């Protein structure tokens, strides 16, 4: 059964979820202590960002030992307990596999840099002369000189994250063994980090020059020449022998291309994490903004839904550990914070997708407010700050950009209660807490009627009881409307109309063709008693409504 299509996924960033020791860093026992909370929320799958040994140059996305739990997070016994506790509640466990690169401290790299002829010599991309001037994802060059081997090695991300050489069959076999190691323990799938970057074009051709002075190498490693061969082999050697979900994180590329990956008989991937809808408010890179346009947003959603379906299936997210919080990004904070969080939840949980909820989203957490660079931890944001200042930029402006666009916004500690440390830690948190934790936290949300958390729970259970919201036909209404996102979900037994006001003004929405026989189901603003007529009353700012049609 393709259980991942019916289920709802919850992403945990272990470092920021719950600290059980008081050292300021979240850990596995912390997650174990909150498994009942996950059950209460009603989700079906948990994706854990990397939990493996790592020197943390990129918060665990630089793995030094794939078979070892990061000691800060706990040990293998904790891992087993966590998996058992989740499984006992019918919650599946998905691990984050980072196999495009390792940590520079991984023993393969240590051996590879020592010797240009030994068995590990070709585990990474080594070149005597620097082949190109590609820019890394975190800024700066992708080739660094290694003093020991006296050659250059490739790293698309941080210099402590050397890219594995997938051309080498031994590398591939080693990775497959790691995957089997975890699947044999009973995990239910992987989220495959930047999986579409595995194959690099032969000769590493130079890219076009960018304003930074570096070049754009993406045509030579995004969906590279051998990617599909590697994925098919991975499927053949590993995936097809397990009941599991394969979620690929993919940068760039077109939905039509990905359809062939996920709808192919080889079925290498099941779900995708793409960036199209979270790139709409960016101009040339993530630091240069552009106004959010609802029409473009709707077009992107429609395009992916139409292209992948019916053979494939979409995942959808508004937040994760690389993205700022969604409330102010797609709607509005301040007095509209709760309403906006619920409106976005309504969209997420009524589209024909596997919804991904990121920790804290279900209580409407918001971005951080950085006032000094010393508070910023993320390598990408710190690199940005340095180059911005070097180029004569204003530090205050850089901090404002980091506070709205940087990755730390999604990584601030989970807000459990209003005590010091927000119930996340009894010590000093590794990254600063959001100032609003006394008003925005799980304990209060549990007690308060009509809270964001209660709304999430209601919608999750409503979705589960109404298959039309999962598999039903999706049809937009008023696709050109700049303020309203409205769509029908037509199932075998029921049809729903979802109307979302993305603006801060009152909006009239009429769908003449269908406005008859509508029964009010729920709204984040209005109660049923106030909804007297059988016409659709105007929508309040950021209101979301669900109707059922007879
Ligand atoms: O976050 C990004 C830009 O702001 C991306 O470039 C991000 O690095 C990219 O989406 C890949 O993400 C994944 O791989 C990275 C890791 O830093 C991210 O946390 C991870 O989600 C390298 O492993």
Q: If you write DSSP's letter for every residue of 70-119 in order, what string do you get?
A: -GGG--HHHHHHHHHHHHHTT-EEEEEE--SB--TTSHHHHHHHH-SSST
Residue 39: active-site member: no
Interval between CA 456 and ligand 1 midpoint (Å) = 27
pLDDT of residue 79: 98
CATH for 466-549 is 2.60.40.1180
Which value, to the nearest 10 degrees, does the dihedral of the CA atoms of residues 356, 363, 328, 306 take?
A: 20
pLDDT surpassing 70 at residue 513: no
- Using an 8 Å Cβ cutoff, are 402 and 384 in contact? yes
**Which of the listed residues 12, 194, 282 should we mutate to test ligand 1's pocket, taking the one with most ligand atoms within 8 A of CB?**
194
Q: Which atom of ligand 1 is nearest to the CA of 322?
A: 1
pLDDT surpassing 70 at residue 358: yes
Confidence band, pLDDT 50/70/90 cuts, at residue 266:
confident
Interval between CA 322 and ligand 1 midpoint (Å) = 6
Interval between CA 482 and ligand 1 midpoint (Å) = 31
Domains 5-105+163-193+232-347+361-443 and 466-549 share a fold: no
Judge if the beta carbon of residue 160 lies within 6 A of ligand 1. Answer: no
Residue 147 and residue 474: Cα distance in Å, rounded? 57
CATH of 5-105+163-193+232-347+361-443, one of 3.10.310.10, 3.50.50.60, 3.20.20.80, 3.40.50.2300: 3.20.20.80
pLDDT of residue 307: 96
Percentage of the chain exceeding pLDDT 90: 91
Residue 476 backbone dihedrals phi, psi, to 5 degrees: -80, 150
Whole-prediction pTM: 0.97
Judge if the beta carbon of residue 407 lies within 6 A of ligand 1. Answer: yes
pLDDT surpassing 90 at residue 31: yes
| Of 523, 529, 524, the residue nearest 548 (C-alpha) | 523
pLDDT of residue 499: 97
Between the CA of residue 505 and those of 149, 528, 533, what are the distances in Å? 63, 21, 22
pLDDT of residue 516: 72
What residue ranges do the domains of the chain occupy? 5-105+163-193+232-347+361-443, 466-549
Q: Read off the pLDDT of residues 291-326 as tens digits, 9 standing for 90 and up.
A: 999 999 999 999 999 999 888 999 999 999 999 999
Please compute the mean of the pLDDT values over residues 102-129 and round it to a whole number.
96
Judge if the beta carbon of residue 157 lies within 6 A of ligand 1. Answer: yes
Catalytic option among 44, 85, 146, 193: 193
Locate tokens 């860093």: which residue?
A: 25
pLDDT of residue 528: 84
Judge if the beta carbon of residue 193 lies within 6 A of ligand 1. Answer: yes
Residue 206: active-site member: no
Which residue owns the Cα nearest ligand 1 atom 1?
322
Please compute the mean of the pLDDT values over residues 363-386 and round it to a whole number.
97
Listed range (30-34, 70-74, 492-496) with the worst mean pLDDT: 492-496
Interval between CA 380 and ligand 1 midpoint (Å) = 9
Interval between CA 103 and ligand 1 midpoint (Å) = 15
Judge if the beta carbon of residue 194 lies within 6 A of ligand 1. Answer: yes
| Of 125, 161, 156, 152, the residue nearest 139 (C-alpha) | 156
Catalytic option among 62, 159, 188, 249: 249
């Amino acid at each position: 059964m393709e259980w991942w299509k019916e289920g709802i996924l919850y992403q945990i960033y272990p470092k920021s979820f719950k600290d059980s020791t008081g050292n300021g860093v979240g850990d596995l026992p912390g997650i174990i202590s909150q498994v009942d909370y996950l059950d209460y929320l009603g989700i079906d799958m948990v994706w854990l960002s990397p939990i493996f040994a790592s020197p943390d140059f990129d918060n665990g996305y630089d793995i030094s030992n794939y078979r070892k739990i990061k000691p800060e997070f706990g040990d293998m016994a904790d891992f087993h307990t966590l998996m058992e506790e989740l499984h006992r509640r019918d919650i599946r466990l998905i691990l984050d596999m980072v196999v495009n690169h390792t940590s520079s401290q991984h023993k393969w790299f240590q051996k590879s840099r020592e010797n240009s002829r030994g068995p590990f010599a070709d585990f990474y991309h080594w070149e005597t002369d620097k082949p190109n001037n590609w820019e890394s994802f975190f800024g700066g060059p992708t080739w660094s000189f290694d003093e020991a081997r006296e050659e250059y090695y490739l790293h698309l991300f941080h210099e402590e994250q050397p890219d594995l050489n997938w051309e080498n069959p031994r590398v591939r076999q080693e990775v497959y063994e790691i995957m089997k190691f975890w699947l044999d323990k009973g995990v239910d799938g992987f989220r495959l980090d930047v999986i579409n970057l595995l194959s690099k074009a032969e000769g590493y051709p130079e890219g076009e020059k960018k304003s930074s002075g570096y070049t754009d190498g993406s045509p030579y490693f995004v969906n590279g020449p051998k990617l599909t061969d590697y994925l098919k082999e991975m499927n053949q050697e590993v995936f097809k022998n397990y009941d599991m979900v394969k979620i690929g994180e993919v940068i760039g590329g077109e939905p039509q291309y990905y359809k062939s990956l996920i709808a192919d008989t080889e079925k290498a991937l099941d779900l995708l994490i793409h960036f199209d809808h979270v790139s709409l408010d960016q101009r040339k890179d993530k630091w240069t903004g552009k106004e959010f346009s609802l029409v473009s947003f709707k077009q992107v959603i429609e395009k992916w839904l139409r292209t992948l379906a019916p053979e494939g299936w979409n995942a959808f997210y508004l937040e994760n550990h690389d993205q700022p919080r969604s409330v102010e990004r797609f709607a509005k904070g301040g007095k509209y914070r709760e309403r906006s969080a619920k409106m976005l939840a309504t969209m997420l949980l009524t589209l024909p997708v596997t919804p991904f909820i990121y920790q804290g989203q279900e209580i409407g957490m918001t971005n951080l407010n950085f006032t000094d660079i010393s508070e910023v931890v993320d390598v990408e944001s710190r690199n940005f700050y340095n180059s911005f200042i070097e180029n004569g930029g204003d530090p205050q402006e850089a901090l404002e950009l980091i506070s709205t666009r940087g990755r730390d916004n999604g990584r601030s500690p989970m807000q459990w209660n209003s005590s010091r440390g927000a119930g996340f830690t009894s010590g000093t948190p590794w990254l600063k807490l959001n100032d609003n934790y006394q008003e925005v936290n799980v304990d209060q949300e549990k007690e308060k009627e009509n809270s964001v958390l209660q709304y999430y729970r209601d919608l999750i259970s409503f979705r589960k009881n109404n298959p039309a919201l999962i598999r039903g036909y999706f049809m937009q209404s008023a696709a050109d409307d700049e303020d309203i996102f409205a769509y029908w979900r037509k199932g075998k037994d029921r049809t729903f109309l979802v109307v979302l006001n993305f603006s801060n003004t009152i909006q009239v929405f009429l769908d003449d063709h269908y406005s008859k026989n509508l029964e009010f189901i729920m709204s984040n603003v209005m109660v049923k008693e106030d909804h007297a007529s059988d016409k659709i009353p105007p929508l309040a700012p950021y209101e979301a409504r669900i109707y059922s049609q007879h």
